[in-house]
Amino acid sequence: MTARILPPTDAGLLEAAAELSAGRPVAMPTETVYGLAAVATDEAAVARVFAVKQRPTFDPLIVHVAAMAGASAGDPVAALAAAGLVDAAALSPAERAEVAALAGALWPGPLTLVLPRGPAVPDLVSAGLPTVGVRVPRHPVAQALIARVGRPLAAPSANRFGRISPTSAADVLAELGGRIGVILDGGRCELGLESTVVAVGGGGPPRLLRPGATPREALLALLPGLVVGPADGAARAGEPAPAPGMLASHYAPRTPLRLLSGPIERVAAAELEAGGGRVAVLLQQGDAAAAAMRLTALLGQRPVVAALSAAGDRDEAARRLFAVLRELDGAGAAVILAEPCLDESGLGFAIADRLRRAAVAG
């Protein structure tokens, strides 16, 4: 089986929806990264997603739902409870107000809310936990597909477990092309980073579980009491994680990645050694060609160099992070040397998190 890339036309959406209704996973675009979707309430279909990704069952999935309007938008908990996705009775009035504040300001968009799980959510989706992650994607193709299927879709990133998330249909084809039948092409992802994950419920304050494409500053402006954990917080392997992407090693290229102690022009030459093997370098910003020339003189070889953003634009850096990692991963290098993201304001918090987790595997 070789996956076919379909355009998001009526015919393409109809075929993708038919695949999903038949229990077969489909890759779909979102504004964050491409997801591997299955009908969330069909446990057999969800099991195929785990098999395709080679994903351990202790890592839960995020359920993608249709955009809300009218009264549903004003009371998202009631709408999610009516669909059997969330247990409204397990949330206090204050917690429901927190959900409404976050959803009202940030849905549709790159925010996942981890809430008490409802009866329609299979154990496999939530890794057996009493919670479920839910979000409303803002990508029009994702929304059109959810509407065509008429049911919520569970969708982790469309790559093999622990690897670099895909931000184009071509990335998905390279990762999973022989394992699925259909990839719905929505172009390159607008944001390029996974959703931010926030847990609400359980009687405590809301908690940031995974940094992502919604900056923590936007969350704190809405909920000043939000608890922000360390960006390198990790779940233990083999134990159910409260949200995806919390393992110490994740988002990793096949080529070992090593985080430098600082910007490349400031680190000691010993940090740049790769045992004689070819070197690839990830810059946070700057002129990649000029950096390659400087490093050639220092290393005695011409490294492959790529910058997340020449001008240091943080939005561009986030959008390009996974694409640049894929480029360097395919360069035939012995090691990828990555500059750390030292400014963790805005999207820098999520960029730093992804690089730290990518470096653990290396």
pLDDT tens digits for range 33-78: 999 999 999 999 999 999 999 999 999 999 999 999 888 889 999 9
pLDDT tens-digit profile of 335-356? Answer: 999 999 999 999 999 999 999 9
pLDDT band at 248 (very low <50, low <70, confident <90, very high): low
Neighbouring residues of 226: CB distance < 8 A, sequence distance ≥ 6: 198, 205, 206, 207, 208, 216, 219, 220
Domains and CATH numbers, the chain: 4-228 (3.90.870.10), 257-361 (3.40.50.11030)
pLDDT at 291: 94
Residues for the chain: how many in total?
A: 362
Helix, strand, coil percent content, the chain, rounded in steps of 5: 35, 20, 50
pLDDT band at 252 (very low <50, low <70, confident <90, very high): confident
Backbone angles phi, psi at 257, to 5 degrees: -115, 130
d(CA 54, CA 299): 38
Angstrom CA distances, 99 to 112, 235, 245, stand at: 11, 24, 22
Q: What is the SS3 string spanning 138-206?
A: CCHHHHHHHHHHCCCEECCECCCCCECCCCCHHHHHHHHCCCCCEEECCCCCCCCCCCEEEECCCCCCC
